[in-house]
Amino acid sequence: MGIDVWVPRDAEEQGATDADAPAAAALDWPELRERVARCTRCALAQSRTQTVFGVGNEAADWMIIGEAPGAEEDRQGEPFVGRAGKLLDQMLFAIGESRESVFIANILKCRPPNNRDPKPEEAAACRAYLDRQIELVQPKIILAVGRIAAQNLLGTDEPVGRMRGRAHELDGIPLVVTYHPAYLLRSPSQKQKSWSDLCLARRLFAGGLA
């Protein structure tokens, strides 16, 4: 008919096989990692250095979920590196955990330019990957780190200050909200509140084992 039809880049790459390709919910760890690495579901694929899939124990009791990769994470391909990452490591150590014993992931797998907040459509494009990671890990407790992570996971626009300090639930999994380490570096006076959140998470986790 002489009419140009625009096709999304990911649809072009996956083409006719897309309908036959398994949904993210059916993928195992290697398949999911590969799917994320070649994802072009949103425009962030054009500006990233690499995707940041997540790190840690794939059968962890604790799952830590943050916002999105920053510049250093984009370079290294690992979440929570740099000063904020070192503080997160200290927070985990304080509750008897480590980067190796938990699983750490982000709402987004690609870095937003200039570290801006993720757009709703970007978070939506990535959500199936995160949901599958949670299903595969089957954590006993989730720690949502920072406003963006908490709001996306809980489907709310409440500020962190109103979400923290109490127990939430995500698909039957206890969830605790706390401040992002980067925020704590800027506002060290809030560290005591974050410690209270970690203690709450630890109590919920211990209660789940009872």
For position 151, which CATH number holds? 3.40.470.10
Count of structural domains, the chain: 1
Q: Is residue 18 in a domain?
A: no
Q: Is residue 71 in a domain?
A: yes
pLDDT value for 4: 39
pLDDT value for 67: 96
Q: Is residue 6 in a domain?
A: no
pLDDT value for 209: 62
Tell me which residue range forms the domain holding 67: 27-209
Q: Is residue 8 in a domain?
A: no
Contact criterion met (CB below 8 Å) for 115 and 70: yes
Contact criterion met (CB below 8 Å) for 143 and 176: yes
Helix residue ranges per DSSP H, 81-190? 82-94, 120-137, 147-154, 160-163, 181-186
Q: Is residue 113 in a domain?
A: yes
Q: Is residue 16 in a domain?
A: no
Q: Is residue 3 in a domain?
A: no
Stretches in the chain below the pLDDT threshold 70? 1-21, 209-210
pLDDT value for 22: 82
Q: Is residue 21 in a domain?
A: no
